[in-house]
Structure 1
Amino acid sequence: MNYKNFPMVPRVIFGRDSFSQLNDIIAPKRLNIKAPFIYLIDDVFKNNTWLISRIHLSYDDKIIYISANEEPKTSQVDALVEDIILKTKERPSGIIGIGGGTLLDLAKAVSIMLTNQGETKDYQGWDLVKNPAIYHVGVPTISGTGAEVSRTTVLTGPEKKLGINSDYTPFDQVILDPELTKSTPKNQWFYTGMDCYIHCIESLNGTYLNAFSQSYGEKAFDLCKEVFLENNSSEKDLQDKLMMASWHGGMSIAYSQVGVAHAMSYGLSYLLGTKHGIGNCIVFNHLEEFYPEGVKLFKEMVSKHNIEIPQGICTNLSDNEFDVLIKISLSLEPLWENALGKNWKTIATPKKLKELYKKM
């Protein structure tokens, strides 16, 4: 049997105000004064002096502000890479992604495409990247996606929504500063936190489960329950715990896989542009037959925090559009096999998926 030999994030710093150490951390990685650091930052922080003032640009370093209103696209990565190549004298010393899952995925993808030829869409899949990425740093400002720890960068391409899954994808350095999550809007906090919770449920109930993924998944699951169901933690403790839940949830799926909710939400994202966290919630709300206990707990969390899960987003879709949803979803074969086993195609039929999508 061939066991997966997965890379880990080699360096991680955790703690409130650890973001202030960013400059000291990256300084030794500067190749020369003509090789800049490129900061990809969520544009919600454009006028946030509390955060931006702690970034010290030197030489030709640049900040590129990017909207996270849409899911990251392969074409967006290509445009960023071209822009960076045209505007820098030498290959950058590194890429620093600051934001949620969208910005972290873009940072990982850009760092890969600066050293690999062709278009980003050519690398959507498993182990297609040939050359190591340039040095890249992840600084999450919201907790839940696990993008800070995973070996994938999820992108919507012209034909599919699929990650660049490779040993060169994980960050070289991650800075986990819970204080950076303090201004997250409540709905976004919940949807992204549920991405982590759903990672746990899909990993812990999957056929790929093993002691490695189980140990991380169980810890993340317990932390999610503390954050979203209990009332005995301070705001700071909640921020710390959710950041750790995100990390552990990402580690859990690194050595197993996600399942039905992610497979089906990829379809929603590709066709309708539904944001990943919301998409997972919309789908998971209807998956009692696959994850009965997980969905029951999820609905308790939704009720406790007075969250409105969008309804009826598939109501007016045509048969052709349903076919696209189903095709994208069923193309994610490892997810379905983890969820349902080797004979998953007898359960996850196009007819079955159409019935589920029509409920959403």
Structure 2
Amino acid sequence: MYRNFAIVPNIMFGRGAFNQLGDVLAPKRVTEGGYVVFVIDDVFKDKPIESRLPIEGDDLLLRVNVDDEPKTSYIDKLVEEIRAYKDVVPDGIIGIGGGSTMDIAKAISLMLNNPGSSADYQGWDLIENPSVYHVAVPTLAGTGAEISRTAILTGPVKKLGINSDYTLFHQIILDPELIADVPKDQWFYTGMDCYIHDVESLEGTFINEFSKAYGEKSIDLCRQVFLEDHKDKDDKLMMASYFGGMSIAYSQVGACHALSYGLSYVLGIHHGIGCCIAFDYLEEFYPEGVKEFRRMMERHDISLPRNLTAGMSDESLDLMVTTALGLVPLWENCLGPDWEKQMTRERTLELYKRM
């Protein structure tokens, strides 16, 4: 059986594209007494980007905090806040920020039309009702969240995405001007998420010409951004993120992302830096990729945190291992159908202890 997956239907790219957000939203404002919700990273509070939002009438500005990665409890709280604001479902949800903010916007748009807690939908294709119309405006590039069918959430018992065709944004606006002033470390860690997507996809057992076409272009753009000098590096990185997300849409990520989920769930480490920490110990899986990754780190003077797992309890380490090994499709892509014979709990634990 071949996957018949959906993709984002509307994409706008170019410097200054953010200025057209109001025009994009205008035909979606159809409900009498309706409104749209601007979900924006609270790091932008009172910053120029907020003053550029096309807020009208009863629109709601919802500042969200992503110091910690999104939790299902936080999504449920935000959904209740929106429901209490007005007794009609909004005409649109606009996610403005990095991967976590975009995932929050995705999850909110789903839960406004589906009953229960967002934790009930962590898994694959559990969503029954289509989402509210939602738009992504990335202010970071690399996660691929803008093109992904997943809203990654930490729940009470696991870190796992809401994976559904309904999760996909209806519109993305890619404006390279919005990522120009990202702090260097954050820019690097988020960009490396994209680079690692490409390595894991291109070297995985699920690889096919569809994924290969996108992955090869994405990794070429990453090399231009992180190993060369280009005045249009922000444009290149935004497209690398898009292509990288498309590459894994018809294949999968691998060992690094599985291990990073464990780091995130147990230690609260953000996804981008978690991927970098894990990838630096995966020469046995991706020797050329790790070698090139280290060249990129050296070129941009990046130092990763060390000894993160030193002194951890056996119970916490065991939970980390369980979290990583629970991501079966990722290990299948990395090692094939007999992955469990190769990736034992002992081997996984040893990798974590090195971190």
Taking structure 1 as the reference length, the TM-score comes to 0.98
- Distance across 2 between alignment mates of 1:168 and 1:108: 9
The alpha carbon displacement at 1:32 in A equals 2.0
Residue from 236, 240, 244 that aligns with 1:241 = 236
Structure 1 residue 294 corresponds to structure 2 residue 294 = no
Residue from 24, 34, 52 that aligns with 1:54 = 52
- Contact 2:147 / 2:169 at 8 angstroms: preserved in 1? yes
Q: SS of the counterpart of 2:165?
A: coil
- Contact 2:317 / 2:349 at 8 angstroms: preserved in 1? yes
- Distance across 2 between alignment mates of 1:52 and 1:121: 31
Q: SS of the counterpart of 2:136?
A: strand
Superposition pairs of residues 1-360 of structure 1, within 5 angstroms: 2-49=1-48, 51-231=49-229, 233-234=230-231, 237-360=232-355
5+ residue gaps, structure 1: none
Deviations 1:283-326 (A, max 9, x none): 00000000000000000000110001110110111111110000
RMSD: 0.7
The alpha carbon displacement at 1:56 in A equals 2.3
- Distance across 2 between alignment mates of 1:311 and 1:156: 24
Q: SS of the counterpart of 2:167?
A: coil
The alpha carbon displacement at 1:31 in A equals 2.2
The alpha carbon displacement at 1:35 in A equals 1.8
- Contact 2:13 / 2:173 at 8 angstroms: preserved in 1? yes
- Distance across 1 between alignment mates of 2:86 and 2:199: 44
- Contact 1:34 / 1:89 at 8 angstroms: preserved in 2? no
- Contact 1:199 / 1:250 at 8 angstroms: preserved in 2? yes
Q: SS of the counterpart of 1:168?
A: helix
Taking structure 2 as the reference length, the TM-score comes to 0.99
Q: SS of the counterpart of 2:34?
A: coil
Equivalent position amino acid for 1:321 in 2: S
The alpha carbon displacement at 1:48 in A equals 1.1
Deviations 1:78-137 (A, max 9, x none): 000011001113110010000000000000000000001111011001110100001000
The alpha carbon displacement at 1:68 in A equals 1.8
- Distance across 1 between alignment mates of 2:72 and 2:212: 32
- Contact 2:205 / 2:334 at 8 angstroms: preserved in 1? yes
- Distance across 2 between alignment mates of 1:117 and 1:174: 26
5+ residue gaps, structure 2: none
Deviations 1:140-189 (A, max 9, x none): 00100000001111111111111111010110000000000012000000
Equivalent position amino acid for 2:60 in 1: K
- Distance across 1 between alignment mates of 2:73 and 2:199: 32
Q: SS of the counterpart of 2:166?
A: coil
Equivalent position amino acid for 1:241 in 2: K
Q: SS of the counterpart of 2:172?
A: strand
- Distance across 2 between alignment mates of 1:57 and 1:243: 26
Structure 1 pair 33–57 and aligned structure 2 pair: CA distance change class (3 A): farther
